[in-house]
Amino acid sequence: MINTNKISKLGNPNITVFKLAGMFFILCLLFSLHRYYTFYASFDQGIFNQVFWNNLHGRFFQSSLSSCLSTNVVHGGEVPTVYYHRLGQHFTPALLLWLPIYALFPSPATLSVLKVIFITTAGLVLYLLARQYLQPSLAVFITASFYAANAVIGPTLSNFHDISQIPLFIFTLLLAMEKRWWWLFWLMAILVLAVREDAGIGLFGVGVYMVLSKRFPRAGIGVCLLSFGYVLILTNLIMPLFSKDISQRFMLERFGQYTQGKEASTLEILWGMIANPLRLLIELVTPVDKTIRYLLGQWLPLAFVPAAAPASWMIAGFPLLQILLSRGESVLAITIRYALTVVPGLFYGAILWWSRSQQKFTPSFRRLWLGCICLSLFFSVASNPHRTFYFLIPDSVKPWVHVSLIRQWQHVSKMGPLLAKIPEDASVSATTYIAPHLSSRREILRLPALELRNDAKQVIKVDYAIADLWQLQKYQPAFKSDRHLLRDLTNLIDRVSSNREYGIIDFQDGVILLQKDANSDTQATAAWLQFRQLELKL
C-alpha cells in the first residue's frame, strides 16, 4: 500500500480542488468575457443569444441568425425568416433550464458566464466521482487533469454552445450510478438527451459499459434502447417537422461520403456505413497523422491512461467514432466543442483504471503526470483557441498578423457610439464579430445579407447595416476567407451607397454604419473613401 501522507503534499484535498476550480473559473471567465467585450465572440454566440432572447419573449427556439444557416437559405437561395425554428437544426430543449437565469441577466455575456459555470461545476462533480474509488491525492490529480485538458479549456473559451452541459450531466449521471441514486440517474439521462439530438451517442456508450461490465446489465440495456431509439425517432420523425436541415444539410455535410443521394436520414447513413465497411475503415483512420494527434491530445492530461482503460473505450468510443467518421476541416480540432463529448468517458475510464492500479501512483509517475498536465496547459494556451489570446499570440507569423491589446480596446471604444445609434427594435445586418452584440432583437442577419422575411411574411430590407472592415483588413493578409469577405463587403457598400439604397451615416476606425433610405453624411463618406483608398489592399 502507498503511504499517501508521504507522497501527498497537497494539504486538504477538498480545499485543493476548490482552489483548482476557483482558478479555472476566474481565468476562463476573465478570458471569455474579455473575448466577448473586445468583439472576438463570433456568430454562434449571437445565434444562442437570439434563441434565448426569443425564448424569453415566448417565440421558442426561433432565430433569424440560425435561419441564415438553414438549407433553405444556403442551398435553396431563399430569404432568411425571423420565425425559423432552430429545432430543425439542433434539438436543444435543455436550454430552457437556464432561461430563468437569462431572464435576470438578458445579455450575450450571461451565456459566457453560464458556460464557464457548467464546466467548472462538472470538474467538482468529477472529483466526487473519483473519490468513490480513489484516495484523495489521486482524485485531485484527476480533477487537475480535467481543468488542464485542451479538450476542456478550448471549448470553454469558445462561444456559448449546448455541448457545454454534457460533462456536468454525464458526470452527475455516473455519480448517481455509483451511489445507486436511480431517480437522479434517469433524470440525468433525460437531460443528456435533451442537450441536443446527437447527445444520445455518448449516453449509449454509458449503457454499453453498464452491460459489458456486468454491473448493471438490465439498466444498461434500458439506457441503450432509450438513447438509440431517441436519436432515431428524433432525427427521422420529429426534427423534420421543423425543417429539412437534418437530412439535406447536416447529415450530408458530416456523413455525405456514405450516401449518393441529395439528402439522407440517419438510418440511411447508418446503412451506408454498414454496407461499405472499407469506406468506414478508411474514414476511421484517415488522415492518420491528425487522428493520432487528436487521440494523443485527448489522452495527454491523464498521462495517456485512457488508452489502456477498457471503460474509456466503451463509453468514449461512441462519441469518438462519431468524430472520426465525420468529414470536415474542423472535425479533428481538439479545441472545438465536439471534443468535449469524448471527455466524460475518458475520465471515468481513467478513474476505474486507477482504482485497480493505485500502487502505480508512485512519486516518479506523479512527476510524469504533472509534466503531462503542464504540457497540456501549454498546448491549450499556445493553440490560441478561438483567438482568445489574440493579444499575446500572433495569428500568423508569415505574413505577420497580430493585434495588440491597447489597439483593440482603442478600436472597441470607437465602435460603441456606432452601435448606440442602432435602435433596439430596428432590423440590422452585421458582420460576424458584431452580430452577438446586436442579437437581442427579432430581426438580425449576418452581412452581406440584407433581406429577411418578417413576422408579417413580407420580405424587407434591414434598417441598418454595420461592418467591421478594420478587423477584416487586419486579418486578410493571412486568411483567404477574410480577404474574400472584405472584397464582397466593399463592393456591397459601394453599390448600396451609390444607388442611395443605404446612406453612410457614420464611419469610425474602419467600422461603417449604413441606414436604409438615409442621406449619407459627408464626413462619414469622406472617411470611408479615404479608408478604402489607403487601407484596403484587395
pLDDT in tens, 172-216: 999 999 999 999 999 999 999 999 999 999 999 999 999 999 999
Number of domains in the chain: 2
Domain interval for residue 471: 405-534
Q: Say whether both 420 and 379 belong to one domain.
A: no
Last residue of a domain, one of 355, 387, 419: 387
Q: Say whether both 427 and 371 belong to one domain.
A: no
pLDDT, position 1: 30
pLDDT, position 537: 61
Answer whether 197's CB lies under 8 Å from 90's CB.
yes
Q: Say whether both 277 and 311 belong to one domain.
A: yes
CA 6 to chain centre: 42
Helix, strand, coil percent values for the chain (each to nearest 5)? 65, 5, 30
- Residue 45 domain-assigned (yes or no): no
Beta bridge pairs of residue 468: 511
- Count CA atoms within 13 Å of residue 68 on its CB side: 22
Answer whether 247's CB lies under 8 Å from 263's CB.
yes
Question: Does the model's pTM come out above 0.75?
Answer: yes
- Residue 135 domain-assigned (yes or no): yes
- Residue 102 domain-assigned (yes or no): no
Among 2-6, 328-332, 455-459, the range with the most confident prediction by mean pLDDT is: 455-459
- Residue 47 domain-assigned (yes or no): no
pLDDT digits (tens, 9 = 90+) for 435-478: 999 999 999 999 999 999 999 999 999 999 999 999 999 999 99
Which residues are CB-neighbours of 8 under 8 A, at least 6 positions away? 136, 137
Closest alpha carbon to 189 in 200, 178, 197: 200
Q: How many secondary structure helices (H) and strands (E) does the chain include?
A: 25, 7
Q: Say whether both 241 and 293 belong to one domain.
A: yes
Residue 324 to residue 290: CA distance in whole angstroms: 10
Q: Say whether both 152 and 184 belong to one domain.
A: yes
Answer whether 169's CB lies under 8 Å from 184's CB.
no
pLDDT more than 70, % of the chain: 97
Q: Say whether both 411 and 381 belong to one domain.
A: no
pLDDT, position 4: 39
Closest alpha carbon to 87 in 266, 189, 234, 256: 234
- Residue 113 domain-assigned (yes or no): yes
Q: Based on the number of CB atoms within 10 Å of its own CB, is 114 exposed (0-12), middle (13-18) or buried (19 or more)?
A: buried
Q: Where are the alpha helices (DSSP H) in 180-324?
A: 182-195, 200-212, 217-233, 245, 251-255, 266-275, 277-285, 288-299, 310-324
The C-alpha cell that represents 514 in the structure block: 449604413
* Mean pLDDT value across the chain: 93
Q: Per-residue pLDDT for 523 more than 70? A: yes
Q: Per-residue pLDDT for 251 more than 90? A: no
Residue 298 to residue 292: CA distance in whole angstroms: 10
Is the alpha carbon torsion for 314, 284, 151, 294 positive or negative? positive
Q: Say whether both 294 and 420 belong to one domain.
A: no
Is the alpha carbon torsion for 405, 407, 408, 413 positive or negative? positive
Band of residue 255 on the pLDDT scale cut at 50, 70, 90: confident
Quick count: other Cβ atoms within 10 Å of Cβ 209?
27
The C-alpha cell that represents 418 in the structure block: 456606432
528: phi > 0 → left, psi -120 to 50 → alpha, else beta; which? alpha
Closest alpha carbon to 520 in 502, 497, 503: 503
Q: Say whether both 218 and 340 belong to one domain.
A: yes
Beta bridge pairs of residue 401: 396
Answer whether 341's CB lies under 8 Å from 163's CB.
yes
pLDDT digits (tens, 9 = 90+) for 285-307: 888 999 999 999 999 999 999 99
- Residue 279 domain-assigned (yes or no): yes
pLDDT digits (tens, 9 = 90+) for 334-378: 999 999 999 999 999 999 999 999 999 999 999 999 999 999 999
pLDDT, position 9: 52
3-class DSSP string for 352-417: HHHHCCHHHCCHHHHHHHHHHHHHHHHHHHHCCHHHCCCCCCCCECCCCECCCHHHHHHHHHHHHH
Residue 478 to residue 470: CA distance in whole angstroms: 14
- Residue 259 domain-assigned (yes or no): yes
Q: Indicate the residue type of 11.
A: G
Last residue of a domain, one of 330, 361, 387: 387
Band of residue 8 on the pLDDT scale cut at 50, 70, 90: very low
Backbone angles phi, psi at 455, to 5 degrees: -65, -25
Q: Per-residue pLDDT for 263 more than 90? A: no
Residue 318 to residue 205: CA distance in whole angstroms: 6
Tell me 9's DSSP state. Answer: -
- Residue 393 domain-assigned (yes or no): no
pLDDT digits (tens, 9 = 90+) for 21-30: 999 999 999 9
> Strands, E, within 32-107: which ranges?
none
Q: Say whether both 24 and 114 belong to one domain.
A: yes
pLDDT digits (tens, 9 = 90+) for 470-507: 999 999 999 999 999 999 999 999 999 999 999 999 99
Backbone angles phi, psi at 18, to 5 degrees: -65, -30
Residue 267 to residue 260: CA distance in whole angstroms: 14
Which residues are CB-neighbours of 420 under 8 A, at least 6 positions away? none
- H or E stretch covering 327: none
pLDDT, position 357: 92
- Count CA atoms within 13 Å of residue 171 on its CB side: 30
Closest alpha carbon to 441 in 432, 430, 451: 430
Q: Say whether both 279 and 428 belong to one domain.
A: no
pLDDT, position 280: 84
pLDDT, position 6: 38
Cis peptide before 310, with omega less than 30 degrees from 0? no
Q: In degrees to the nearest 10, what's the CA dihedral of 296, 299, 301, 302?
A: -150
pLDDT, position 2: 35
Residue 510 to residue 515: CA distance in whole angstroms: 17
Q: Say whether both 206 and 355 belong to one domain.
A: yes
The C-alpha cell that represents 458 in the structure block: 413580407
Residue 324 to residue 318: CA distance in whole angstroms: 10
pLDDT more than 90, % of the chain: 84
Last residue of a domain, one of 387, 418, 438: 387
Q: Say whether both 428 and 512 belong to one domain.
A: yes
